[in-house]
Structure 1
Amino acid sequence: NNCPYTVWAAASPGGGRRLDRGQSWTLNVAPGTAMARIWGRTDCNFDSSGRGRCATGDCGALECKGWGVPPNTLAEYALNQFGNMDFIDISLVDGFNIPMDFSPTTGRCRGIRCTADINGQCPRELRVPSGCNNPCTVFKTNEYCCTNGQGSCGPTNFSKFFKTRCPDAYSYPQDDP
């Protein structure tokens, strides 16, 4: 955690844990893991059994069993996929809550990041306390969610807001290069 505040890290698979500034968490995941994600939660309170709530990225517990509630910045990965390759990305399709830097520790992939002040610049329509929603979460239309299948949507002013600030990140569901 390189943020100046505590982040409650979450991973699926992997669970979750509190990370104070300067702390890290090593995830050991099985080869072939696909559709995995890591995200940070903010302003969390948990009881002694690990039940609780977070302002952003909430999953209802310290140890997440599913995915977090938007807005949350996502690091996604799939290991040993097509041609035995690993894939990583940062996604803002569930919005933005904290800066993210996602760097593999081995191999030839370059690190990717989204460290812009998106919360401070978030459009009024997308703004929530401690985060910035993706327009799909707010408006729930094909224009923003791409629900009508491949090629049914394109960049919007909102997705361009995210993409301009974080060019490494997915800004809408069909934002494939």
Structure 2
Amino acid sequence: MAAASSSSVLLLLLAAALAGMSANAATFTITNNCGFTVWPAATPVGGGTQLNPGGTWTVNVPAGTSSGRVWGRTGCSFNGNSGSCQTGDCGGALACTLSGQPPLTLAEFTIGGSQDFYDISVIDGYNLAMAFSCSTGVRLVCTDPGCPDAYHNPPDMKTHACGGNSNYQVTFCP
């Protein structure tokens, strides 16, 4: 009887830990509103995929993820898991494990405990119109290289905060 009781307690603790881990995650919904295919990429989680016009890609990001990025690659040609892109290419890989090559419009984020942070950056150039928002924060929109909502150089003060564990929307060609 004691072994069954210990197993029950262990299962209950494991279930609570897993529930806590999922509660500390964010979901990124990435939508392509462009009239052409975009190949979004996300690091350090997500990798990359083909996203046809009107398509949506969902990426789950664990809490504590720092220096995460989402960007759209354009002019891509892939054969299986390798190929190349005219903009945002990440070493010819479909599923990126490193950041893309300029020019690229970046959605940057840090998923924290009680507060998340996010921004759009065109420091590495501009390649695609983008909107980026969290469920409790300001919607950032960048439709050209002079985008007022984006970082243009490191000292810009363009980072926004929202409630911890928020969900995010990234839209190409908003």
TM-score (norm 2): 0.69
Structure 2: which amino acid aligns with 1:109?
Answer: G
Q: How far apart, in 1, do the equivalents of 2:36 and 2:143 lie?
A: 15
Q: How far apart, in 1, do the equivalents of 2:59 and 2:94 lie?
A: 16
Structure 2: which amino acid aligns with 1:62?
Answer: L
1:109 matched to 2:137:
yes
Structure 2: which amino acid aligns with 1:9?
Answer: P
Query: Which structure shows the higher strand fraction?
Result: 2
Gaps spanning 5+ residues in structure 1: where? 119-161
How many residues were matched structurally? 125
Q: 1:62 corresponds to which residue?
A: 94
CA RMSD of aligned residues (A): 1.2
Deviation at residue 176 of structure 1 after TM alignment: 2.0
State the structure with more CA Rg: 2
Gaps spanning 5+ residues in structure 2: where? 1-31, 159-174
Q: 1:71 corresponds to which residue?
A: 103
Q: How far apart, in 2, do the equivalents of 1:23 and 1:12 lie?
A: 20
Give aligned-pair identity as a percent: 51
Q: How far apart, in 2, do the equivalents of 1:168 and 1:27 lie?
A: 24
Q: How far apart, in 2, do the equivalents of 1:54 and 1:98 lie?
A: 13
Structure 1 residues 1-177: aligned runs within 5 Å: 1-13=32-44, 14-48=46-80, 50-59=81-90, 60-80=92-112, 84-104=114-134, 106=135, 108-116=136-144, 118=145, 162=146, 166-176=147-157
Q: How far apart, in 1, do the equivalents of 2:34 and 2:129 lie?
A: 8
TM-score (norm 1): 0.68
Structure 2: which amino acid aligns with 1:45?
Answer: S
Larger RCO (CA under 8 A, 6+ residues apart): 2
**Moved segments of 4+, more than 2 Å:** none
